[in-house]
A and B are shown apart, each in its own frame.
Chain A
Amino acid sequence: MTGSLAHAEARAMTRSLARHGYLRRPTLGTGARGGRREWLYFSAGDASFDLIVNLSAVDDLRPAGAGGERIRLTVLVRVGEHWDGDVDEIDAELAGGALHARFPGGEIAVRDGALRVTAALRRRPIALDLRIVPNAFPSLVHNIALGAGQAIQWLVVPRATADGWFQLADHRQPVAGAPAYHDHNWGDFTHQNFAWLWGHAASDAASEPIAIVLTRMVDGAQATAYLQALLVWHGPRLVRVFRGSEIRIEPVGWLRRPRCFTVPRIGGLLAGATVTEVPQRLRLHASGDGDELEGEFIAHDLARIALPNDHDLGTTFIHEVIGRLQMSGSIRGTPVAIDARAVFELLRSEP
């Protein structure tokens, strides 16, 4: 591909993100108050750091809540094996119909052909300023039914590049061409009978630009899958979606860490200090119509986000698991392989 074509394609990817990745606030506004949720998730990282940012807006179902909305900004930073971060309750201007959120100390916006993500936490000495350029077209999934009246939608940008910096106390880390990822989810659901396994990885090998997203939506007992899919991109385009029974996922062992960093910070008291239900490995196998991929996700480290349930006094923990995805096989007769940094999300509930 020539330079001008590549440039045109990059602009098209960002335009596509702006066109399809807009905040769905008007849609949320017409629904019944209950389990309306929308969030923007960003991940960037390389061998020296991991950075996760999540801006979420949900119905405020706390007993003393005034029927409004809770907007929370979550930032997790990992440098070496040290985690930091927190969850801030914030006031934010969220522009329905546009991919634009403005809040104290930061914003999320499409500007000059890129996603701009800036943020600063209130109680932790953490700030960031990233320019994220999509390197793949976004993929959009609508109306995944999760049970009576509940559904989720999402948009995913599996491969992107982040430039900028983040600050952790006195440490200012430049971010230069780091692999990045973005997804945007919205819908109407609670965690009463819904959990997920969600993972993403993008090879930084220019010769084989493979990106993979694995999603598995399950019931509360994690016994029945509403949907499972393994999506494969080559370069900017989605080239294969394995679905349902084409995919086998087998957990192996348990990830044991001496400590499990938890946000919001008080969340560590809502569970034990160590994690016992996050697998150390996930063996993955996908095959169908002559295509096949096999390999595993190897978990290295994790942090967790504690979400007090709306429906009871329990807590749902979103485990952000850092690791490596190694898969190989063939699609349409062409060999495919990936060995890349990966982030998997696993949900567990505690009463």
Chain B
Amino acid sequence: MTGPLVALATDALDCLAREHSAAHRLMCARLGARSLAIALDGEQFTIAGGHDRVAIVAPTAGATLTVRTDAATLDDLLSGELTVVDALDSDRLELRGAIDDLVAAFGAAAAFLRGAVRCLAMPRLLERLHHHARGHTS
């Protein structure tokens, strides 16, 4: 399981765990044991919750939620060019799962974001995503 986006996701989770343990703990607690099957451009991986940890693992069957999007959409969301609602409306972001699981995953994502904006190393990771997305869209 290799690819620039898998590596980016792994680095982002490591950054949060290293720099903001409180937000990391909150994200883990909110995600619980749920798993997210991610399809991001051509890369596929699973974000697996484990109550006190979140890991990125190889794609597995039976994930609680599926998420399909692309790096350009992710970059647009994180740079304020696009709202989540608009991304969903325009099919640039697709989420599938039971509503309770979606709400829990949204809560986990919110905890990640709240920690991410307080991490010193996160802006460099956002720049990496931005350059990658530009490379794909230009």
Contact = CB atoms under 8 A, between A and B. Distances in A.
Interface of A: 62-65, 89, 259, 261-270, 273, 306, 308, 313-315
Instruction: Indicate the member of A62, A264, A313 with the most B CB atoms within 10 Å.
Output: A313
Nearest to A63: B20
A270 B119 contact: no
B19 A89 contact: no
A313 B77 contact: no
B39 interface: no
Nearest to B111: A313
Contacts of A262: 80
Contacts of B78: 265-266, 269
Nearest to B26: A313
Contacts of B32: none
Nearest to A268: B80
A315 B114 CA distance: 8
Interface residues of B, number: 27
B25 to A, nearest CB: 11
Interface in B85-133: 85, 111, 113-121, 123, 126
B22 interface: yes
A64 B20 contact: yes
A267 B119 CA distance: 14
B134 interface: no
B79 A266 contact: yes
B136 interface: no
A65 to B, nearest CB: 7
Contacts of A314: 114
A268 B118 CA distance: 15
Instruction: Indicate the member of A64, A65, A314, A315 with the most B CB atoms within 10 Å.
Output: A64
Nearest to B109: A269
A89 B85 contact: no
B63 interface: no
B21 interface: yes
A266 B126 contact: yes
B84 interface: yes
B49 to A, nearest CB: 19
A261 B83 CA distance: 11
A317 to B, nearest CB: 13
Given A265-B80, A273-B85, A313-B23, A63 B118 contact: yes
Contacts of B113: 266, 269-270
A194 B117 CA distance: 21
Given A265-B78, A270-B114, A65 B85 contact: no
A270 B117 contact: yes
Contact of A269 (B19, B22, B84, B118): B84
Interface string B1-32: 00000000000000000111111001000000
Contact of B120 (A64, A263, A306, A315): A64
A-B interface, 7 closest residue pairs, ranked by CB to CB distance from nearest: A265-B80, A64-B19, A313-B114, A268-B80, A265-B79, A273-B83, A62-B118
B80 A63 contact: no
A270 B117 CA distance: 9
A64 B18 contact: yes
Interface in B41-93: 77-81, 83-85
Contacts of A64: 18-20, 119-121
Contacts of A268: 80, 83
Given A266-B113, A266-B126, A270-B113, A65 B80 contact: no
Contacts of B84: 269
A267 B114 contact: no
Contacts of B77: 269
Contacts of A89: 123
A63 B114 contact: no
Contacts of A306: 117
Nearest to B77: A269
Contacts of B26: 313
Contacts of B119: 62, 64
